A and B are shown apart, each in its own frame.
Chain A
Amino acid sequence: MIRYTLKRLTSLFISLAVASMLIFFVIEVAPGDPASFMLGINAQPDTVAALRAELGLDVPKFQRYLVWVQGMLTGDFGMSYTYRTPVSQMIADRMWVSLPLALYALTLSTIIAFPAGMYAAARRGRAGDIGVMGATQLGVAIPNFWFAMMLVLIFAIKLRWFSAGGFAGWDKGLDAVMWSLTLPAISLALPQAAILARVMRSALLDVMNEDYMRTARAKGLTTTQTLWKHGLRNALIPVLTIIGLQFSFLLAGGIIIEQVFYLPGLGRLVFQAISARDLIVVESVVMLLVFAVIVVNFAVDLAYAAVDPRLRART
């Protein structure tokens, strides 16, 4: 197990290093100079040059990369070109919205998907299965922004249970935060839950054909007991993979939902930064997201090993 963890950690650091280089250089090659963009088309060349020097854009690219990485390692993400505020502060503010939203949505989708997938698998081909599968089909097909608007129409405008948008802020307490994140989390969770339920169902169906499930039945376990005690853990590997992918997606992929609910999240930050050629913000947020994806994958790898003893042994 220690070897396995060390191996995964090494691969985590290599991925981070490669990703940081890719992000930095790809974004840097993209056309559009932040300095001239900020000053407008009529700017004097010497003013642009002065601003470039001030922003640190005049030094060679590789050196800028090193400064950027060093800064990130010490928590200094640099200054936003547009807002002239520390990037780390901007990201931290948005993180406090996006991270709880992603976790909330992921929890909801898991809570919905696990029982739905298990229920459908246990009733394969019967009405319950067809119902769940139909519902998940809809869940995948419905665009989440439309679903979000419907939620707003019903629960915010008509019933007035929730607010139609905006973020309460952490100073108002956890209740208020949860309250303002509930509708966005539901709209984000729905398609994810639909996908996860389908994966859960097919993973369980695969497992149900395994010989050890028949062995368990021969011992005297009921179908349900067999499914819980022997099926679930064996079916978890593909499900964990999907959960890992979904978390990374939810963290930044909520951009449309953030627009619909007017939430100051990471997705909106990236969107604004790209429009304003605020390269340093884009780089930092993208790097952060990559970091999140890689760390989540690392956690998923560890979870695999926790679930399956054969993986622990292999390395």
Chain B
Amino acid sequence: MSLLEIKNLSLSIMGTPILKNVSLTVNTGEIVAVTGESGSGKSLTALATMGLLPKGSTTTGAIQLNGQDLLTTSETDLCKIRGNDIGMVFQEPMTALNPVQTIGAQVAETIRIHGTMRKSDAMMRAAEVLTRVGLPQDKFPLSRYPHELSGGQRQRVVIAMAIALRPKLLIADEPTTALDVTTQAQILDLLADLARDYDMGLLMITHDLAVVSDMADKIVVMRLGEVVEQGETKSLLSNMRHEYTKMLFAASGHQVKLPEIPPSDALLSVRNVVRDYKTPRKTVFGSTGTFRALKCVSFEIRRGERLGLVGESGCGKSTLTRAILGLEGVQDGQITLDGDPVFMGKKPNLAVRRKMQVVFQDPYGSFNPRHKVTRLITEPFHLLETQPTPDERTLLIAEALTAVGMHPSDADKYIHEFSGGQRQRIAIARALIIKPDLIVFDEAVSALDVSVRAQILDLLVDLSAQYNLTYLFISHDLSVVRTITDRVLVMQHGQIVEQGVTEQVFTAPNHPYTQELIAAAPVLPDLEHLKA
């Protein structure tokens, strides 16, 4: 008998069918990865297993844990199973912990509600579990609050809560999506170790195929609420049968060919830029400290060049972006675009600002939902000295929308009428509309599904050829940076530790940090090699 057996699970929420006849099994000690794009129903499959479906859900089929059907188990009994027999780790470690309780109390809670252990004993056990997940007591005492920990450390606390009672099954829903590559690698190792040590079944939900093929014993591919293909990792990868699986893998490793750029002079020049932030006082009357977010950063972007910027969170990528865009002043050094300083005295230089545009990560949060697309994409016009006439406006809107593969008639719609990928196209149209000299893409494809991401990358290549785009592409996703940029900067602790031609940096990294980053990034297996 399998540890977890989902048989013909169908789910509908408020009458809308979500899952259709999903079947899968997880055996003791086995790592099963469920993968697919957003809306495939992978997270809801996990929540159904936990018995934590949203209100208005109706299910048919069976979810058996060691033979017990969880769908027919009462809520009271499910409460005894959750945390005890099944543990769950969630995607967003920054918000998954209660901000007003110490980490010790939160881990101990799992232990206490399932037993009669005294508080002091439960705290001791919590300390052991936290040590096991890599948070030793001398550095991370039980009295720490979540806000005092980094994202990776918080995810370790969430894992500690999930495994405190050594459940038979651990469900991890996108456990590393919000984390940096090196942290991701550590958390994945930890999960795999725990599954092996405790002989747990691990049901891993992830959209990242590189992660899937790296660690899973079995892969389940889902699409629109259905399982389209499943099997042992190696045999599935070497012999993909379903078109969707093939498409997913192709899109994940999607490579583009950037048009050649003729040699030209520098467009953006960043010289010895220093940015300090004040840190809070440590004692009552102590003085404020300073944190140097950018330490003498210098680089150039030539006209027509596509430059990548990689590094982990907190390395200064965002600070650098804000400085380049003139949103924040710098303490020392100078940033110029076409020879004009981005900052004039204490004020941003508007003449320069209108030559730069930015595309942000979140296609859902970066638009005002109450405005029509016309208004949204013409926002950069306020930077211009002379406003276009109404006729010119219409023409420019149509041109920008067509350039990103949308229809001019989309201008009269509201943003909620579009999918994530379409929204990101609109965001690019907004950046293109005043024909800027430089576009900054700040994690612009990170929130997108692989197939959509592949389309946006293709779009960028088209636009590069058409408009001779110059851009700075900031991303934590190394595989994307590798294909979409000519040159790359690697940033660590506010410094650029390595820069060079992208392909060279990736094939022969010089700096130890670059080597570490590249080694930590999960890579898709070579399918040809697998088949052989």
**A-side interface residues toward B, CB under 8 Å?**
2-3, 6, 210-212, 214-222, 225, 229-230, 233-234, 307-310, 313-315
Contacts and interface: CB of A to CB of B under 8 A. Distances in A.
B79 A222 contact: yes
Interface in B56-114: 75-76, 79-84, 87-88, 90, 92, 95-101, 109-110, 113-114
Given A220-B110, A220-B114, A215 B83 contact: no
Given A220-B114, A234-B98, A309-B100, 13 more contacts: A212-B99, A214-B90, A214-B96, A218-B162, A219-B83, A219-B110, A219-B161, A220-B84, A222-B76, A230-B98, A234-B99, A308-B99, A309-B147
Interface string B108-125: 011001100000000000
B206 to A, nearest CB: 18
Given A218-B82, A219-B83, A219-B110, A6 B284 contact: yes
A212 B110 CA distance: 13
Contact of A211 (B83, B96, B284): B96
Contacts of B76: 222
A220 B50 contact: no
B281 interface: yes
B145 interface: yes
Contacts of B87: 218
B158 interface: yes
B512 interface: no
Given A2-B284, A3-B284, A214-B52, A219 B109 contact: yes
Contacts of B147: 309-310, 313
B282 to A, nearest CB: 10
Contacts of B145: 309-310, 313
B262 interface: no
Given A211-B90, A315-B280, A219 B82 contact: yes
Contacts of B84: 220
A210 B95 CA distance: 7
B148 interface: yes
A-B complex: 10 closest residue pairs judged by Cβ atoms: A220-B83, A219-B83, A211-B95, A220-B82, A218-B88, A212-B98, A309-B145, A219-B110, A211-B96, A215-B96
Given A230-B101, A313-B148, A212 B109 contact: no
Interface size class of B (residues with CB under 8 A): 20 to 34
- The residue among A215, A309, A313 with the most chain B CB atoms within 10 A of its own CB is A215
A221 B96 contact: no
Nearest to A307: B100
A246 B150 CA distance: 39
Task: Report which residue of A6, A211, A222 has the largest number of chain B beta carbons within 10 angstroms of its beta carbon.
Answer: A211
Contacts of A230: 98, 101
B48 to A, nearest CB: 13
Nearest to B87: A218
A3 B281 contact: yes
Contacts of B98: 212, 215-216, 230, 234
Interface in B158-215: 158, 161-162
Nearest to B285: A3
Interface in B15-54: 50, 52
A214 B96 CA distance: 8
Contact of A229 (B109, B280, B284): B109
A314 B97 CA distance: 19
A178 to B, nearest CB: 35
Contacts of B96: 211-212, 214-215
6 contacts: A212-B98, A215-B98, A219-B161, A220-B113, A221-B109, A222-B76
A23 B285 CA distance: 34
A302 to B, nearest CB: 15
B169 to A, nearest CB: 12
A210 to B, nearest CB: 7
A307 B262 CA distance: 61
A6 to B, nearest CB: 7
A306 B158 CA distance: 24
Contacts of B88: 218
Given A3-B281, A221-B113, A212 B95 contact: yes
B113 A219 contact: yes
Contacts of B162: 218
A234 B100 contact: yes
A294 B447 CA distance: 46
A1 to B, nearest CB: 10
Interface string B370-412: 0000000000000000000000000000000000000000000
Contacts of B281: 3
A229 B112 CA distance: 13
A307 B100 CA distance: 7
A218 B43 CA distance: 14
Given A218-B50, A220-B114, A314 B99 contact: no
Nearest to B81: A220
B145 to A, nearest CB: 5
